[in-house]
Amino acid sequence: MTIHIGARPGDIAETVLMPGDPLRAKWAAETFLDNPRSVNETRGMLGFTGTWRGQRVTIQGSGMGMPSLSIYANELIRDFGAKTLIRIGSCGAMQDSVNLRDVVIAMTASSLSTPSRGFFRELQFAPCADFGLLERAVAAARSKGVTPHVGGIYSADVFYDERPDLNEQMTRHGILAVEMEAAELYTVAARFGVRALAVLTVSDHLLRDGALPSAERERSFGEMVEIALEAAFD
């Protein structure tokens, strides 16, 4: 048990999927895991452990934004022995070639700052995914007839952004999508020598109007969860 995770020793699997929304963690656990059981309810940040094809998996909500994600990633790795952490969440497209419901697999994650910035001082650390996880996620997506977008994303500090100039530069430099957590996840994973990846579903678009209704999100997010699970295990 830690300050933010009420699980007991042995409750958390070595493989952890991390949606931002705790209710999405509950939905994913009930939909994709066999015999899921609640292992965390502290502060309403729900976590569940079950099995997928005989492999133990925990699905733990991370909250919104990098500071919240950082808390859960640090405790999952340091105190519960997590070895593979995969973010499953939504993102906003930043390229015309990326459409609603598309899957984005983040090779790198740019940011203005992260909670880990103080570690590096003047160094501009480049957070990136574990290549083995990324490679298997791409293969898993293609096996399902899904052509994922693979490349750089942007992890933002704010949801209601008022920097159109920055967004223009992100688009110009090929950033596929924006979300709020992956850069810190990749940094924490690198610090502890564990594997991390972000598999995302495009739920809205920054360059044109459009957003997925809730029913469509659930169907599309299911593909994302399956890709993440298949990527996690050899």
Mean pLDDT of the region 188-202: 98
Whether the predicted pLDDT of 132 surpasses 80? yes
Tokens found for residue 152: 């750089």
pLDDT of residue 43: 95
Residue 89 assigned to a binding site: yes
pLDDT of residue 191: 97
134 located within any domain: yes
181 vs 160, which has greater pLDDT? 181
56 located within any domain: yes
Whether the predicted pLDDT of 1 surpasses 90? no
Mean pLDDT of the chain: 95
Residue 43 assigned to a binding site: yes
70 located within any domain: yes
The confidence band for 210, taking pLDDT boundaries of 50, 70 and 90, is confident
What CATH number does the domain containing 167 carry?
3.40.50.1580
pLDDT of residue 219: 63
Which position has the token pair 């984005």? 104
44: which DSSP letter? G
2 located within any domain: no
3 located within any domain: no
Supply the residues annotated as catalytic.
204
Residue 107, C-beta contacts closer than 8 angstroms, at least 6 positions apart: 128, 129, 134, 150, 151, 152
| Euclidean distance between CA atoms 171 and 182, whole angstroms | 18
The confidence band for 218, taking pLDDT boundaries of 50, 70 and 90, is low
Question: What are the tens digits of pLDDT across the range 71-128?
Answer: 999 999 999 999 999 999 999 999 999 999 999 999 999 999 999 998 998 999 999 9
Q: How many domains does the chain have?
A: 1
Helix (H, G, I), strand (E, B) or coil at 139: helix
Structural domain range at position 70 = 15-232
57 located within any domain: yes
| Euclidean distance between CA atoms 12 and 4, whole angstroms | 14
pLDDT of residue 209: 79
Whether the predicted pLDDT of 214 surpasses 90? no
Residue 161 assigned to a binding site: no
pLDDT of residue 215: 65
| Across 33-47, 67-81, 189-203, 220-234, least confident range | 220-234
Whether the predicted pLDDT of 53 surpasses 90? yes
8 located within any domain: no
